Amino acid sequence: MNRIAVLTSGGDAPGMNAAIRAVVRASLYKEIEIFGIMRGYEGLIDGDIKQMVSRDVSNIIQRGGTILKSARSKRFTTKEGRLQAYNNLKEKNIDGLIVIGGNGTFTGAKIFGTEFDIKVVGIPGTIDNDLYGTDYTIGYDTAINTVVSAIDNIRDTATAHNRLFFIEVMGRDAGFLALRSGIAGGAEAILIPEKPTHLENLHLYLENGFKKPKSSGIILVAEGDHEGGAYEIAKKVRTDFENYDVRVTVLGHIQRGGRPSAFDRVTASKMGVEAVEALTNKQKNIMIGVKCGQSQYVSFDLAIKGRKPIDDQLYNILSILNY
């Protein structure tokens, strides 16, 4: 393994720069030439590839986003696009590729690594934390802290005006972000895709919970909730509970930005070094996962198709904490 390349793809996540830094420094430590690919798979197809040196990753560990930029690539879904990408790597004698991203990124990486004689290793970077085979993904911890900070701020105004707030967070297919940030933020209810949302139960809570009385309420909703998201649920609640002053806040892309937490910086650094180690050990088509604090190799197929379970114990204690 003499030359490897690294790219970031899909949605950005805080800590990606820390992972890039670790990949670059670990490669140079092993006397491997390292190349950065701009704009993910799009840049790979366009040949937007540049060799990197240690100073290229100086002073980036604390920065959100990704210095390599990111993009979604329709061309990479075609055989022609992937062939062009492969030819660009071969032209520079690159025989190993590290991709940092989520489910979509790894789906493309799996196909690419199967079609051509290129070793591909993945680093999980997504705030959704929905990849099977790893306890944490890069960006998840930072996003939790961002959401909790928003909940704290919103609760101030909710309390001042005796309002019920529905706060929508990211999580189209997974509720990990909503669940953990909801517990940390003291939310009165959490609605996630993994658990059927029964409006009857929510109504029962609203009827009983605010008789204590409570001066305010926070309902956290993952965007992929079965009832249609925060606005749809709030609309139904306004109809059935006209005496409630209901408000909706959608946090949106603010959850992806910001300085990565110390936990994300360390996790990204560890995974970056492990990814380089995996390539030098002739691994291919695998993701670097962390289970119970230990690194492990997880096949792309399992990481993509495996269904990561929600923490039922954490979900069930919500009713106890709001007693």
Q: Would you please indicate which residues are annotated as catalytic (active-site) residues?
A: 128
If you count them, how many residues does the chain have?
Answer: 323
